[in-house]
Structure formats: C-alpha cells, structure tokens
Amino acid sequence: MSVEENKGTIRRVIDELAKGNVGIVEEAFSRNFAYHSHRHTNPPLRRREGARVMTSGSDLAETQVTIDDIFGEGDRVAVRRTFRGVYRGTPKPGYPQPWERCTIVAISTYRFVDGKIEDDWGVDAFWESGTPPWE
C-alpha cells in the first residue's frame, strides 16, 4: 500500500470512530495489532480486541476531532489531532474535573503491514481549561 492509501485509512478510521462505528476495527487493524502508550501498559492492548478497547474506551463526551497534521513515509503515518469534548471519567491527577470541557492533543505514529494498522505509538496531553495555551 502507498503512503497516501495508508493516510486515507487513518482518516477513515478517525471519521468512522467519530460516528461511533467501532466496526472499523475489523477492517483497518491487523490481527497482530499492538498499542504502545504510556497510559495503557497493564494489560497491554494487543490484537483486534486491544484495538476495540482502545477505540471504544473514550472518557470524552460530545467529542469533536480535528486532524491538525498528517504525514507519512514508507510504512508509517504520523498524525497530530485535537479532541474537544467533556471529560466524563473519574477524578485523577493531571486530568480535568468530571464533566469539565477540555481539549486533548494527541500524536500517534502508525505502522502498516499489508494495508492494516499493525502498531500505534501514541502520546496525548489534556488541557483542563478547554483551550490549549497556544490558541
């Protein structure tokens, strides 16, 4: 698959998940998928079941997603995106208060094998004020 096709897959995954279509996991993620993140280490998210957990476990309600940057080379695609919504999770240090509007900036690098997402390395940061300081 070409870089442009892989970027198209990422755009489609983001669009479908925003619509609540977690069925996209079967189509876009490899059976050997692995999610590498500082937030999900125990248990690690692996295989399509891990992808389903990763894509359906959002602590945000009323979510709007914007792709800020997307680029790729070889079998990799990197995406910087911004999520805006209402935090509906439990109180935790470094997180917004429950039901507070917030912004999350996330950067992920995806590796593709045979047109499917095999690996996702992700990092994200919450901005409790609702707006990142650079806006």
What does the domain layout of the chain look like in residue ranges? 3-127
Each residue's pLDDT expressed in tens, for the chain with a length of 135 residues:
899 999 999 999 888 887 878 888 888 988 898 877 666 555 566 555 655 565 565 676 777 889 999 999 999 999 999 988 888 888 877 778 888 888 888 899 999 999 999 988 888 776 665 555 555
pLDDT for residue 56:
61
pLDDT for residue 133:
52
Read off the pTM: 0.81
Asked if the 3-127 domain carries CATH number 3.40.1160.10, the reply is: no
Structural contact between residues 27 and 8, judged by C-beta atoms closer than 8 angstroms = no
Q: In terms of Cα–Cα distance, which of 53, 33, 55 is closest to 43?
A: 53
| Beta-bridge mates of residue 35 | 45, 120
With vertex at residue 25, the alpha carbon angle to CA 75 and CA 29, rounded to the nearest 5 degrees, is: 25
Structural contact between residues 105 and 132, judged by C-beta atoms closer than 8 angstroms = yes
pLDDT for residue 73:
96
